[in-house]
Structure 1
């Protein structure tokens, strides 16, 4: 059908707003293609068509009326003609229409990226957030508000320009103080400002769950930095049984660190087996143990798998892999997050490597788009990624090794660097030879 470049660009913006994300890479197109199938499986739109439509590759042809109708219906219209009629009669005042280009259209953005904001603009946004949500009785965020705040907070982490004066303003509101630390834990910065952040959180912790969470994050940072176990153990709370009233993430971190400790320290065999059995039970019986809300993400396996890998406990690694695979097979497409998907793929890649399945590991590695996202632990995860890159891309191994050690210096996580390079990669390279 003959739709001009301007019309296609405006429709692309509406589709992006309807699916709730910017379409900027192939994986976004895969997710959107799945959403369109769920919306109406009679009219699927292929990933290749979506890549052309969103300007990720050059478009040398026209789009069919069926494709345009499907996209318009996804935005709430009866057809493309109906969408076009409304557009021409009442164009949205909030949309910036870009001029047409001769070839590919730019990837559509549906909101102002936090990356384009100055440090001062980000701080102003944070202060406005504090003003808007100062009353704890009315502190409820919708998905749009949460995602906007999350993107801005991750951008502060990415820049490394965290402002302690601004953080002091957050601490004046305990409900927001807890919210930020629990939702955007400074996992990349547990050798710097993350330490006082977590200690301050622990000082105002009221429930057992909050105390276990705070201690677990501090302990994980100490392991990452390579501190001796004698200093770490006081932050580990012996878990006698898995509790449905405590978040599975919190219990997984405590158990995972303890599992690693037992692999490195001479401890009673009975205690080692007890911790392993709790790990395995949590992985195999999570649906029966924790309430329904906790299964929207595979919290227990997601947070245990790194520690199981470092401990080189292959039975627990295998159970983590199976748990995550079960979760992925039933995952609701509308609740998927590209950043979380990438982290899960990285962890599943390492599970496959440790279990000797290098075909699967290589496939997962090749599918990773590692430079396209930011989370609260991007820098630490980069240590894992670069170690795998040095193995899977031999022609880039020298650069990958340099990036690996640089990530260790950037985070201060020499404990992770040593364990991954010697304990994990050493045997893998030895077997390859």
Structure 2
């Protein structure tokens, strides 16, 4: 088998890259370890930056997003028992749209299938070789267990933090930067209308909480917990009780409860591997970097990566290697900005069990400044809605 670009991973990064390449006349094959339904249904991020929405609309994948997405022109920042609105659109002229990552994946899977674009699920034993040459090779077993060899001109590793692409780069090539946080998120998906028209980020002495949503009927909520917390210890009643305490505010606010459809605990880390390219192997999305979810940057960074990568690969396959050579540097400028913003939001909003009273007073000072200074609020809003794509 031969193709121009082998794409490892059918998350939003891999699927969007494949679609962009096909629109530019470049052949690509997507390989995914999970089955089709798992890929379409796995619950992930839900906040789309404005540049992400604009790109999806530009390439013809914005119809359902426009119908079902929930545009937000601000969000609430709660602390000291009070609610403070960050007016995103007033401050920046831009907004965010709540539209689940799995919905974007569904749109991309459907677009691939409608156009007959190569998308292979349930592959296993993926290995990469000859990535230092102009003819790298991907070997894998297809859904039937048959060994396949795919020759290509470039490989895009879009297979996440635990995928095979990054480990395929020889030792000593990558520099890794990482930080683990002393807390995790317990996330729940509840069948109940949202309790507020916008997202609520809460700093509370009992720990951080976030009120979000996926649709007018489905609410997404998060609680800060210990990374070693046992999910079995969190009954539905305990979750709702803790959310009510942390989201409480002086004045009128009622937390709407309902059946919990899904729950899980996610540890938090910051991670960057650079460079994001070795030979003809290019890393994108979570394969190259992880951000804590507080800044809502993970999926949006993946979209930014593959927008740059698609252009670099199109040029490379036409004989111009300049964009491929600058791919890593171009992406990393945005990655490190997002890493800093995500770290900033995380450390400002979460209750660090190891922090001393001095650090906690500094945290409250930052929150109060952000809520009362237009300049500070504008800086937060500008990063939150998404900086313009570069490269």
TM-score range, shorter chain: under 0.3
Higher relative contact order (CA 8 A, sep 6+): 2
Output the TM-score relative to the length of structure 1. Answer: 0.21
Which is helix-richer, 1 or 2? Answer: 1
| TM-score (normalizing by structure 2) | 0.23
* More strand by percentage: 2
Structure of greater Rg:
1
